[in-house]
Every structure is written in C-alpha cells, then in structure tokens.
Amino acid sequence: MRQATKMVLGATAIVAVSAGVAGVTTYTMLKPEQNKSLAFNDVFQQSQNTRLAALDAINMQPVDLTQAAENSVHAVVHIKSTQESKTQTVTVRDPFSEFFGDIFGNGRGGGQQRQVHTPERVGFGSGVIISRDGYIVTNNHVIDNADVISVKLNDGREFKGRVIGADPSTDLALVKIEADDLPTVPVGDSDALKVGEWVLAVGNPFNMTSTVTAGIVSAKARTLGVYNQGVESFIQTDAAINQGNSGGALVNARGELVGINSVLYSPTGAYSGYGFAIPASIMKKVVADLKEYGTVQRAILGIKGTPINDEQQLMDEAMKKQIKDLGAVDGVWVREIIEGGSAAGKLQENDVIIGIDGKRVKNFAELQEGLAKHRPGDKVTVKVLRDKKEKDIELTLKNEQGTTKVVKNAGMEILGAAFREVPQELKKQLNLGSGVEITGVTEGKMKAAGVRKGFIILKANGQVIRTVNDLEDVLKAATLSPDQVLFLSGMFPSGKRANYAVDLTQE
C-alpha cells in the first residue's frame, strides 16, 4: 500500500498507516420525503457495560487515566488490509495514436499490450468498535482498495471485515464484522473539548497491538490540506501517533471517544510532536450516513470565501483594506454566492460568516465542521457581519446538486449494461486507440437512452474512455453534477458514429 505524505509548514503530514487499500462510490437520487435524520444512538447499539471515569473538578490533579485506558483498549481493533496479487493487462501507448490511429498498419492501435504481475500488498491500521453488533469506524486510507480485510480484537479473536461505506472527503470508513456483545467506546462531545485537556491515543502503531499514549489537546479546528479539498477540522494533540495508529481512538479522561486518529506531523515519517484526529462530531454523522444510505448526505453552503484571519491570503494591500472596511477580525468573508446553492437569496457578497447554529466560526475549518454535522434539508442559522452589524439568517441546506433529495449509493448497475475494453483485433479493424464496448444491455439507464449492444464508447462527458474504470469515474462525477447526465460519443463496429445522452436521475 502507499504511504500518503504531504509537506505542511516545512514538515510532512503523513497519513499514519503504511498502506491503503477501497472502491468507487456512485450515487442515485431518491424522493425528498425519504430524507430522515437519524441520531447516532438510533443507528448504532452501545454497550451497556461501560463505566465512565469519575472526575472531580476540585481534585483533578494528578489525572488518573487508567479507567479511560481500560475502557477504550478493548474496543480498539487491529486492521490488516490486503490487496491481492493480480495479473493485469496494460497498454504501452503510442502518443500519436489518438490523433492518427493505426496509420502504419502495424496493428498496435494505440500501443502494445503487456501482462504485468502485481505483488501482494499488505497494510495495517486501527479501528474503533462503535456498536456491539460489530460496526467499526476507521480511516478510509486504511481500507482503500483492499481485497481482504482482517480484524483482530484485543482478546485475540479474528474476523473478516466488509466495507459498509467509505468517504474519502473526511477519510472515514465503516467496516462490519459478524460478532455480538462486543465492547464499545462511548462517544463523547468533541465540541466540548478544551485546549489543554488530557486525551489518550489508542491504537496499533508499527503493527504492535493495544498501545496507549497520553497527551493534551494542543489546538482545535486545524486545516492541513492533506485530504485534497476534503473536510478538515482536526483536533491537534501531542499524544504520540505513529504509522498504524490511523483509525484508532482519541479518548478524553472520562474514556469517551472524541476523535479518530488520522494524521501525524513529521519531517521523518515517525512521531515528532503532534498528531491529528477527526472530531467525533463529524464522525458520528458520517458513519450514520454510511450505514443508512451507503454514502454521505453532504450539505453544501454554496459560497466561495476567504478566511479573514489567514495571513497567507492577505498579502495584497487592496485586500487588506477591504478586510479592514468589513470590520471583522475573524470569520469567513463571502466573496461569491453560487447560483442555486443554499446561500443563494440569503447571504450576500461581502458578508462575513462569524457563526453557525450558535457556535462561533473563526475560520474555514470551523465552518466545515459545522456544516459536516448536517444533511441536505436541515435548517441552520448562520450569523453574519453585514455592514458591520451582526445578523442571524436562517437557510435550508442543499446538496451538490442544489436539491434536498437523499443521495443513495449505487454502482455501474444503474446503467443496466455490461462492458469490456475493446479487443485488440477490433481496435486494429476500426483503427482505434482506445474505447469501451457495450457487450449487453438490459433494463436500466442505457436502454432508456436508446444505447444498443455493440456500441463503443470513445468519450464520456468529453473525457477519453480507455478502461471500464475510466467510465466508472466519469459516471461518479456525473451523478454529483447538477445536470446528472452522461453524454456518450462513439461508434458501432459498422463504422456508424453515434451520440447519446443518458439521464442519471432517480425517482
């Protein structure tokens, strides 16, 4: 598996696991009346045998963390992700084939095909049991692309795991094992965490099991940029987090789960002072969505903005003057309103968002964290500074499509067709460099659009299609677009060219 790294402030933020292994998620729309918000405890069954540590505010020094460690260590599991050895056919491409085809008649049709044998790849990480019937939360990068997932409990028992759902944007995944009466960690309120508060990091660093380290909360709502424009609002801690800790538990002194350990900050690849965890406030909503719908019901505010207190954004003197004229010292400056989004008709350009649902917003991370708790259709109150006066504005959140409909997980099966890469002989015959052939059409979106067996897809939504995975990626992006249409262009073996528009919306 790969080791994810990213430079942050002269050091490396490393996704703390030696490898990653999972799949592509696509989406289907359902009726808005099916959009039911379920509480976390309605979705996952908590163990009744957990005893929380008793804290006395008067006699808190020194802090006794033994009960918190005992609570959590039995509910943190070791996860082994295996990507099995495969033999793959790859094409060594001719860079001129897309423009000229097989002009020399050498039968290459865009390149030579070769058989490549990939070795087995194994990665290790951690997970947290959140339901006594076997639901486990971990990081997406721990199980990404896994063919086999093995889960080992603290008592030595081992189970096969299956992925219920994964969300790369928050780097969270939900795994299920078939077991009952498992120990769980009670989920606490990460919003109530205070800087300086004692926390424990529980996991399996360097493939060692059941390791507990202690530290304090160093900061909250950190953004590192490691999730490629995903949702980031990390809890920063100086409890030691190393490779293999990914997906493990960050618990408070009461033994409550307040975060999922995900990233370490290091110039060397090992712990050097700071680690980062996904807040439980985000985790609860994401995994409940994954269990109920198979994908995350993500609410989008529909703005483009700039954090007021981000010095890297304020190098331009004209922008500095604009910021000063707004009268704000922190918050998110609204620079543009997206048409059809949640904020359209409610917020205005040059508003400064300073709060959401009664909680202060100082930067983008805190705004993202506030939104990540909600589903499309939820009503929220946004506090803005407008003309140097505070104003509360209620708005209804929408999804990326600009609706409040529920998005359900669906795969290529919604197209109702079977696919294969165009065989080499057919490529040579038709003078093609690439393409995906439809080998069968049943009931589904393809049939409804009039697509027939034998059609060769050369482009989908303007992108060249070389493999079935290429088509799957374009389909996924299309289901998230407002139009939800897949435009196909290609040809039949007879040489006839054709274009189709495949409607991806679901009733």
Q: Phi first, then psi: give them for residue 447, nearest 5 degrees.
A: -60, -40
pLDDT of 413 reads: 81
E strand or H helix at 500: strand 497-503
Residues 481 and 326: their CA atoms lie apart, in Å, by 34
Q: Burial level of 334, CB count in 10 A (0-12/13-18/19+)?
A: buried
- Residues 6 or more apart from 13 whose CB is under 8 A from it? 5, 6, 7, 224, 226, 263, 264, 265, 266, 276
Q: Which residues pair with 464 in a beta bridge?
A: 459
- pLDDT tens digit sequence for 220-241: 999 888 887 788 999 999 999 9
Tokens representing 148?
A: 């086999």
Residues 64 and 55: their CA atoms lie apart, in Å, by 9
- Asked whether the CA dihedral 262, 268, 271, 272 is positive or negative, the reply is negative
Separate counts of helices (H) and strands (E) for the chain: 10, 30
Tokens representing 447?
A: 């049939």
pLDDT of the chain, 507 residues: tens digit per residue = 434 333 343 344 444 433 344 433 222 333 344 455 677 888 888 887 777 776 665 555 568 899 999 989 999 999 999 988 877 666 666 555 555 554 444 444 455 666 677 888 999 999 999 999 999 999 999 999 899 999 999 999 999 999 999 999 999 999 999 999 999 999 999 999 999 999 999 999 887 878 999 999 999 999 888 887 788 999 999 999 988 899 999 999 999 999 999 998 777 777 777 899 999 999 999 999 999 888 899 898 999 998 887 655 545 777 778 888 888 889 999 999 999 899 999 999 999 999 999 999 998 889 999 999 999 999 999 999 999 999 999 999 998 888 888 776 666 888 989 999 999 889 888 999 899 999 999 888 999 999 999 999 999 999 999 999 899 889 888 877 777 899 999 999 998 999 999 998 776
DSSP state of 414: G
Strand ranges in 106-231 using DSSP code E only, listed in sequence order: 111-118, 121-131, 135-138, 148-152, 158-167, 172-176, 198-203, 211-222
The two beta strands, 257-266 and 11-15, are: antiparallel
pLDDT of 32 reads: 43
pLDDT of 26 reads: 25
- pLDDT tens digit sequence for 80-125: 999 888 776 666 665 555 555 544 444 444 556 666 778 889 999 9
Residue 468: strand, helix, or coil = helix
CA angle 67, 45, 178 (to 5 degrees): 100
Helix ranges (DSSP H) in 405-496: 424-430, 445-448, 468-480
Active site residues: 141, 171, 246
Residues 467 and 238: their CA atoms lie apart, in Å, by 45
Do 232 and 272 contact (CB within 8 A), yes or no? Answer: no
Do 359 and 392 contact (CB within 8 A), yes or no? Answer: no
Residues 291 and 476: their CA atoms lie apart, in Å, by 20
Residues 388 and 310: their CA atoms lie apart, in Å, by 20
pLDDT of 33 reads: 46
Do 38 and 414 contact (CB within 8 A), yes or no? Answer: no
pLDDT of 235 reads: 96
Amino acid at 78: H
Residues 65 and 61: their CA atoms lie apart, in Å, by 11
Q: Assign residue 83 a region (left: φ > 0; alpha: ψ between -120 and 50; beta: otherwise).
A: beta
Residues 165 and 174: their CA atoms lie apart, in Å, by 5
Q: Burial level of 316, CB count in 10 A (0-12/13-18/19+)?
A: exposed
**Alpha-carbon dihedral of residues 479, 481, 486, 487, nearest 10 degrees?**
-170
- Residues 6 or more apart from 342 whose CB is under 8 A from it? 299, 300, 301, 302, 395, 396, 397, 398
Do 123 and 22 contact (CB within 8 A), yes or no? Answer: no
Q: Any idea which residue has 């968002």 for tokens?
A: 353
DSSP secondary structure string for all residues of 27-61: EEE--GGG-----HHHHSPPPS---PPP--SSS-S
pLDDT of 410 reads: 60
